């Protein structure tokens, strides 16, 4: 029951959309009713148009995101916690790099990597990298020093210090950065696909837009929104289950 009450607004919104379009209050040619959009999605799945596009998009988004996570989180933790001196040198260059617009890079990366999968994955990685790096730097730099000092008093070595204190204290921020950049990854990927690709959901959006197949356009947009929700939910689940639990136990241990 609580579930229904919490998500009532979504149902009301969808119902409103359906009703307005069915009764022709808004033009069903431009806004096909939701049921019709759902039908289109099922139809597209059945004739095998949608699945390859979704896999194409995911095959770009997920490796790009993971690469950014693998590079960005250790780099940020290192810069924020251990190599603070170097961080002073790198602060401005990192800021400049983070402002390098991925779409701008798209033109340049294509010159180096050619067209194909590599530039798209590079763009996703580039976009995802910066929120992760900056939040990791922040997380590692803002650890409460009294925790570190007490760790030192207990004679923790550097590795243990990072594993037991810096990481648990910084994990929520790193994780928030990761979640933000997962959102970015889809966001930029769809845009990149809309601008220059021959497969993927973004490509489907432009294609259907040009062909004026608005039911398919709405289908693509709905699938993108659902995909975003789904990925976000997965990441949230992972965070709740593993990261925050481990962090809590660590912090509790530190408190006691």
Partner 1 sequence: MRAKRLTSPDPVAPLPGKTRSGVPWPRFGSFGQKYLILFILLFIWELSGQAGWVDQTVVPSLSLSLKAIAEMWTRIDLGSHILISLGRVIIGLLIAIIVGAPLAFVLVRVFPVFAESVDSLLRVFGLINPYCLFPLFIIMFGLGETPKIAVLSWVSLWPIFFGSQIAFKTVDPQLIKTARSMSCGSWSIFWKVTVPASLPSIFNGARVGVEMSFFILIAAEMTGATAGLGWIIHNAGASYDTARIYGAGLCVVILGVGLNRFLQIIRRGFLDWSDYLASPWLYAGSACPKPVNRTLLWLCCLVFVLVFGLGAWKIGLGENLIVTNSDPTAFNP
Least Cβ distance, residue 104 to partner 1 (angstroms): 5
Least Cβ distance, residue 225 to partner 1 (angstroms): 5
# chain residues binding partner 1, by CB under 8 A: 60
**148 near partner 1, rule: CB under 8 A:** yes
Q: Which of 30, 40, 71 is nearest to 181 (CA)?
A: 71
**159 near partner 1, rule: CB under 8 A:** no
**255 near partner 1, rule: CB under 8 A:** no
Q: Which of 20, 96, 51, 81 is nearest to 223 (CA)?
A: 51
Q: What is the CA radius of gyration of the chain?
A: 23
Answer for which of 32, 102, 119, 200 binds partner 1 (CB under 8 A) is: 102
Q: How many CB atoms lie within 10 A of CB 164?
A: 17
Percent helix, percent strand, percent coil in the chain, to nearest 5: 85, 0, 15
Of 45-53, 60-68, 168-176, 214-222, which part binds partner 1 (CB under 8 A)? 214-222
CB closer to partner 1 out of 97 and 249: 97
CA–CA dist 202, 18 (Å, integer):
25
> Counting Cβ atoms within 10 Å, is residue 233 exposed (0-12), middle (13-18) or buried (19+)?
exposed
Q: Please give the residue ranges that form the binding site for partner 1 (CB under 8 A).
A: 5-10, 13, 30-31, 81-85, 87-93, 95-96, 99-104, 107-108, 111-112, 142, 144-146, 148, 152, 183-184, 186-188, 190-191, 194-195, 202, 205, 209, 214, 217, 220-221, 224-225, 228-229, 232
């Amino acid at each position: 029951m609580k579930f229904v009450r919490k998500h009532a607004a979504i149902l009301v919104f969808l119902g409103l959309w359906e009703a307005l379009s069915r009764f022709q209050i808004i033009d069903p040619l431009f806004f096909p009713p939701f049921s019709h959009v759902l039908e289109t999605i099922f139809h597209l799945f059945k004739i095998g148009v949608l699945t390859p596009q979704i896999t194409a998009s995911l095959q770009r988004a997920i490796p790009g995101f993971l690469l950014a996570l693998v590079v960005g989180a250790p780099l940020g933790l290192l810069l924020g916690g251990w190599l603070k001196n170097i961080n002073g040198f790198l602060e401005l260059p990192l800021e400049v790099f983070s402002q390098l617009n991925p779409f701008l890079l798209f033109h340049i990366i294509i010159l180096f990597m050619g067209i194909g999968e590599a530039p798209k994955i590079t763009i996703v990685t580039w976009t995802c990298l910066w929120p992760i790096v900056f939040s990791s730097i922040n997380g590692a730099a803002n650890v409460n020093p009294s925790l570190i000092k007490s760790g030192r008093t207990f004679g923790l070595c550097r590795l243990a210090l990072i594993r037991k204190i810096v990481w648990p204290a910084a994990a929520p921020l790193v994780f928030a950065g990761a979640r933000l950049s997962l959102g970015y990854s889809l966001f930029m990927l769809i845009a990149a696909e809309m601008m220059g690709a021959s497969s993927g959901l973004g490509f489907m959006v432009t294609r259907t837009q040009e062909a004026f197949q608005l039911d398919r356009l709405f289908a693509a947009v709905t699938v993108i929104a659902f995909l975003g929700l789904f990925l976000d939910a997965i990441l949230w689940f992972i965070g709740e289950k593993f990261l925050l639990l481990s962090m809590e136990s660590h912090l509790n241990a530190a408190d006691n």
